[in-house]
Amino acid sequence: MSGPSCHPAEKRSWLQPERPSKERSNKIDTSFKAILLDSEMRVLLGTNPREEWELLGGRAEPHDATPQDTVRREVYEEAGIDIAVGAIVDTWYYDIPGEGRVAVTSYLAWPLGDVSLVLGDEHADLAFFHSRELDGINLPEGYRTSIRIGIDRLRNLQGEATHS
């Protein structure tokens, strides 16, 4: 009984694939954002160069030890506010035309001390908004969803604290 005939494997030269240029890269950046809520449950937003409102935050830098450190640093740079950073609220993908895809991870945050906004270089304006105002502004849907999840989560935590 004979089995299938075997042939020697074809020898191939494995070349390293050409690295894609930055414009063609499939890399997904990550941006860490703060759902920064004040005592009235208003969220702090800034306007970006695309004239959209967005959560404050940004990309990690080598000296940031954790994503929470990134959020604290970015909010301080963008608004001059010291903050405490809580739990992750949400992560979603944002496809920015002409720039690529960004994974946006948002964290609950609240100011430490006085809130005197200092406008940084990244935004044309900074403002606090109540959740009922979010539908009337140019705000990407992913941010809107994250903010509402964050507010609901904080309200649930506050409710649990009053019942214990």
**Calpha distance 50→53 (Å, rounded):** 9
Q: What is the mean pLDDT of residues 19-39?
A: 77
Higher pLDDT, 45 or 118: 45
Instruction: Output 148 or 15, whichever has higher pLDDT.
Output: 148
Distances (CA, A) of 138 to 10, 33, 91, 110, 141: 58, 17, 20, 23, 9
Q: What is the pLDDT of residue 4?
A: 44
CB atoms within 10 A of CB 74: 25
Strands across the sheet with 83-96, in order? Answer: 83-96, 100-111, 29-36, 53-58, 43-47, 126-129
- Tens digit of each residue's pLDDT (9 = 90 or more) over 43-72: 999 999 989 999 999 999 999 999 999 999
Give whichever of 4-13, 21-30, 104-113 has the largest mean pLDDT.
Answer: 104-113
Is the pLDDT reported for residue 23 higher than 80?
no
Can you give the pLDDT at residue 164? 62
- Copy the structure tokens of residue 29: 């950046």
Q: Quick one: pLDDT band at residue 41, thresholds 50, 70, 90? A: very high
Indicate the range of 13-17, 51-55, 84-88, 155-159 predicted with least confidence: 13-17
151 pLDDT more than 90:
yes
Give pLDDT, residue 142.
96
- Under DSSP, the state recorded for 37 is B
Residue position matching structure tokens 């739990």: 87
pLDDT of residue 120: 85
Higher pLDDT, 101 or 7: 101
